Amino acid sequence: MRHQRCRTKFFDLSTRLILIGSIISIVALSCKSDLKSHNKPLSISRDLEQIRENGKLIALTDFNSTSYFIYRGEPMGFQFELLQAYADYLQLELEILTENDLDLAFGMLNDGSADLLALNLTVNNERREHIRFTEPIGQTRQVLVQRKPVNWRVMTLDQIDASIIRNQLDLAGKTVYVQSGSSYFQRLRTLQDEIGDSIHIVQVPVETEELVTLVAKGEIDYTVCDENVALVNRTYYPLLDVETPVSFPQNYAWGVRISGSDELVESLNEWITVYKKTKSYALLYAKYFSNPRSKRIINSDLYSLTSGKVSVWDDYFKDYGDTIGWDWRLLASLVYQESRFDPEAESWAGAYGLMQLMPSTGEFFGIDITRSPENNIRAGVKYLEWLEEVFRDKVPDENERIKFILGAYNVGPGHIIDARALALKNGRDPNKWDDNVAYYLLRKSDPEVYHDPVVEHGFCRGEEPLNYVTEVLARYDHYLNFVPEK
């Protein structure tokens, strides 16, 4: 089975509450900088030229309801789509790592695990000692997140304002929880100087949106959040008030390593400057920060951050994936590619159901694929098992064999076997997919190639199975980031 490439972190709400209760430290003016724990920048030679040679941009982002998440089986998020647009501009594969702990995120950038931090990083001088900022992605300000009174719906605006914090001076003596390593901590320390009194600032290793949720649930009273993210969260929790600013407008940007990133940051700055002026950027920002559908998404059973689900068919994927030794999330990604999880999907050629099987394939295995979604999945898995037998002795490496099976599921085993024969004849490795068998599969649309004597199955439009394999495996990586194995 293919090894996981993406970093995964899961903490449920109860675990986060335990963390808050057991390892918080209340800090005041005498506390050291929150950035002192970040790994110091290293001299790593992986600039844009090396990234291009590797063919892959490795970016780190956080997972929450605006940056990066899975909904109805599809990866989504403002940071994710921005990253994908930039990777497409560079014509590079995108690999996403996820990390909600800012200390660890900075460390992963500076130890070379990631090329780029795609986070809403507030631009400030203290952080410039640790990372190099790109051109700003946008602007926002920091706001206090608090609850309105219980009976706020029957109160006037003046009555609500009188019962909550509207003047920053009233934060004196209050306890405010913030994410460890965040700019919110720095801002609150500065605000203490400005108001001439103490604010009890509690740093916790909990992502900011989780802290917002804790405010909404009454577990804590106050946190601080970027206004654009706070406004989105208010659509989920109408009792939240996010109208009290604690900062002036500030730029937020992406970050790269201080040294050895001149070409990358120049490319990023050029692209960001142009892209921010496009209609695509405006629509993307509106999609995630001004979308009335946001509440429906986060409350859905198919919002993976809270449900851990990819689709309503997950139990079938788990049961039948086990029968062939597949990670169920890989099977789910294949099914999404085939039908977008629509059990009644039907192609122009007559392929039917979740796994887009021809009726003759179901008949071969003695299964009526139209009778039920479970039957359709069962027949599809039988076909995958049959393909496994076809390639088991031909392709010894299990991770490589998955690519051959996926390609064969899309275009049939005959064309894959032809491409193996062409690779062998021309001195390439018939047991390797990328740049070997895939190279000749792509060329099978050329008459000189598909008329070669070793080719038995003729013309093939090879671009489709190549894209199929790439997209299924890329989506599988996204699922690994969010969805538990069991």
Domain with 261 in it: what CATH number?
A: 3.40.190.10
Shared domain for 471 and 352, answered yes or no, is: yes
Structural domain that includes position 272: 32-138+253-306
User: Residue 26 pairs with which residues in a beta bridge?
Assistant: 202
Catalytic, out of 95, 210, 338, 388? 338
Answer yes or no: do 133 and 276 share one domain. Answer: yes
Catalytic residue check, 471: no
Are residues 287 and 393 located together in one domain of the fold?
A: no
Q: How far apart are CA 402 and CA 391, in angstroms?
A: 9
Question: Which is it for strands 69-71 and 132-133: parallel, antiparallel or unpaired?
Answer: unpaired
Q: Which two tokens stand for residue 271?
A: 């692209």
Judgement on whether residues 440 and 356 belong to the same structural domain of the protein: yes
Low pLDDT (below 50) residues in the chain: 1-16, 18-19, 21-38
| The last residue of a domain, from among 248, 268, 295 | 248
* Boundary residue ending a domain (226, 248, 270): 248
pLDDT of residue 24: 45
pLDDT score, position 34: 43
DSSP output for 24-78: -EEE-TTPPPTTTTSPPP------HHHHHHHTEEEEEE--BTTTBEEETTEEE-H
What's the pLDDT score for residue 293?
Answer: 73
For the four alpha carbons of 354, 359, 362 and 366, in that order, the dihedral sign comes to positive
Residue 292 has a pLDDT of: 76
In 3D, which of 89, 81, 41, 61 has the Cα closest to residue 264? 89
Residues 258 and 115 in one domain: yes
Looking at the structure, tell me whether residues 125 and 267 fall in a common domain.
yes
134 plus 146 within the same structural domain: no
Q: Does one domain contain both 121 and 153?
A: no
- Alpha-carbon gap, residue 268 to 245, rounded angstroms: 30
**pLDDT computed for residue 424 by the predictor:** 97
What is the tally of structural domains in the chain? 3
What pLDDT score does 20 carry? 52
Residues 234 and 262 in one domain: no
Q: Identify whether residues 384 and 235 lie together within a single domain.
A: no
Q: Write down the H helix ranges in 196-261.
A: 208-216, 227-236
Over residues 30-66, the pLDDT tens digits come to 333 444 444 555 556 689 999 999 999 999 999 999 9
Q: How far, in Å, CA of 404 to CA of 392, rounded?
A: 10
Q: In the block, which residue shows the tokens 């500030």?
A: 250
Find out whether 198 and 224 touch, Cβ atoms under 8 Å: no
Q: Please tell me the predicted confidence (pLDDT) of residue 23.
A: 42
The predicted pLDDT at position 302 comes to 85
Q: Could you tell me where the beta strands, DSSP code E, fall in 169-308?
A: 175-179, 200-204, 223-226, 240-245, 250-256
Residue 19 falls inside a structural domain = no
Distance CA 320, CA 378 (A): 7
Q: What is the pLDDT of residues 134-149, one digit of tens each?
A: 999 999 999 999 999 9
pTM of whole model > 0.75?
Answer: yes
Same domain, 347 and 430: yes
Position 411 in a domain: yes
Q: What local confidence, expressed as pLDDT, does residue 40 receive?
A: 52
User: 164 lies in a domain?
Assistant: yes
Do residues 425 and 299 both lie within one domain?
Answer: no
64 DSSP β-pair partners: 68
In the numeric block, the tokens 């601080």 are attached to 224
